Structure 1
């Protein structure tokens, strides 16, 4: 398709409402975007199996998931960056020592080392299913992303594992990906793979892991519920995600 622009949307606090759902207004807006030859792309820390219903409700079949570690466009996989087993093993033994838990992600499945209070709270906070326990799933499965489950020890993990990025997106968890992997890098890879280096891009977000996303986009849109750090780099601050912020911004920029 001859796309005229690409719009990248974070999920929680951005494209989704307070119950982590797609509203009818957002669903209609995504259809109108596509009619206007704007490619809508979900850009999230979650993985694909967590957002199947969301993608269907939003009529979106393109996504950057696991903070840029896996990319699919129009239903076709175009990028998958895996973490090596030895690196994961080091994190595994470290979280055991600290009394935390760990989840393992690829685009098809999620496993975890145990069901702690922090883990349950983390998944409940985004209305996502609690993963099954398989402590050493990384030994026999490809892994794109880790999730460290715990409320403390971030400074320790960042100092001990400089080869990883740690994004605390809930009080209970940290998305953990290879250094240099982020939503912004995902934007660049997607454009390269589609051979669209100069196409206009619009980024929508609310959280700390959206800084890289907005930085990689030509037009940076922060939600009204975003933190001040994200708002300070935005070209436009729209309404809150619970107050029609997505539709308001799309209309502001004449995308729908």
Structure 2
């Protein structure tokens, strides 16, 4: 198919409502995009297991997940970047020193070291299922992203792991990937893989891990509920995600 544009959507606080759901209006908008030869692509810190029901509800078959560590286009895996097991092992010891928990992510699932109150808060915050417990699973399974379950200690981890990039996207957890991995780099990689470098790109986001996404896109759309810094670099600030912000922006740019 010849695409007229690529549209990248963050999930929480952007494409999803306050209950982390896809509304019927969003589903209809995604159908209209595809009819207008615009490819909708989810761009999220979550993994595919957590987004399957979202993709199904929205009718979206392309995604950038785990902050750019994995890419799927039209149902086909095109990129898969893993974290070295020795880094996972070092991180496991680091969180133990802080009495924090740690979750491990790959395209097929996620698991954790143990349950604690902060973990419950973190997964409830994004209305996601709790992970299974398997602290040594990283020895047998690929890991694309780590999730530090903590409300503090950011600088501690930054100093210990200069080979990693950290995104604190909520009060209870820190997304952790290989150094330089980002939604923005994944946008560029996707364009190259699909030979679509000259097709206009639209990025929609609200959080700290969306800076690279918007910076990589031609048209940078910040939600009305976005963090202030993201609004400052945006070419258009739309309404809040709970006030029809996605539809408003898509109509503003004549995409639907």
Question: What's the TM-score, normalizing by structure 1?
Answer: 0.99
Residue equivalent to 2:172? 172
1:196 corresponding residue in structure 2:
196
Q: Can you list the C-alpha shifts for 1:144-200, whole angstroms capped at 9, x where unaligned?
A: 000000111101000110111111111010000001100000101100110111110
The 5 A counterparts of 1:217-228 are 217-228=217-228
What is the CA-CA distance between 1:75 and the residue it aligns to? 0.1
Please state if 1:205 is matched with 2:217.
Answer: no
Which whole-Å CA distance do the structure 2 matches of 1:173 and 1:119 have between them? 8
User: How well do the aligned residues superpose, as a CA RMSD in angstroms?
Assistant: 0.5
Q: CA deviation at 1:235?
A: 0.3
Q: What is the DSSP-based 3-state SS (H/G/I as helix, E as strand, rest coil) of the residue aligned with 1:127?
A: coil
CA deviations 1:109-134 (Å, max 9, x no partner) are 10100111111100000000000100
Q: Deviation of residue 244 (structure 1)?
A: 0.2
| Residue of structure 1 in register with 2:239 after alignment | 239
Aligned partners of 2:116 and 2:197: how far apart in 1?
A: 44
* Structure 1: gaps (5+ residues): none
The answer as to 2:27 corresponding to 1:18 is no
Q: What CA distance in whole angstroms lies between the structure 1 residues aligned with 2:180 and 2:112?
A: 24
How many Å apart are 1:29 and its aligned residue? 0.2
**Equivalent residue for 1:78?**
78
Equivalent position SS for 1:156:
helix
For residues 196 and 52 of structure 1, what CA distance do their matches in structure 2 show? 26
3-state secondary structure, aligned to 2:134: coil
Task: Tell me, in whole angstroms, the C-alpha distance in 1 between the residues paired with 2:87 and 2:131.
Answer: 22
SS of 2:45's equivalent in the other structure is coil
Instruction: Look up the match of 1:39.
Output: 39
- Structure 2, unpaired ranges of 5+: none
Aligned residue-pair number: 256
Q: Which residue of 2 aligns with 1:159?
A: 159
Match of 1:27 in 2: 27
Q: What is the match of residue 127 of structure 2? A: 127
Distance 2:109 2:137 in 1: 10
1:184 aligns to 2:184 (yes or no): yes
Name the CA distance, whole Å, in 2 between partners of 1:78 and 1:244: 32
Please state if 1:111 is matched with 2:142: no
1:46-95 deviations in Å (ceiling 9; x for gaps): 00000111001101000000000000000000000000111111111110
Alignment partners' CA distance in 1, 2:160 and 2:233: 30
Moved over 2 A (4+): none
TM-score by length of 2: 0.99
Q: Partners in 1 of 2:188 and 2:14 — Cα distance?
A: 21
Distance 1:177 1:120 in 2: 22
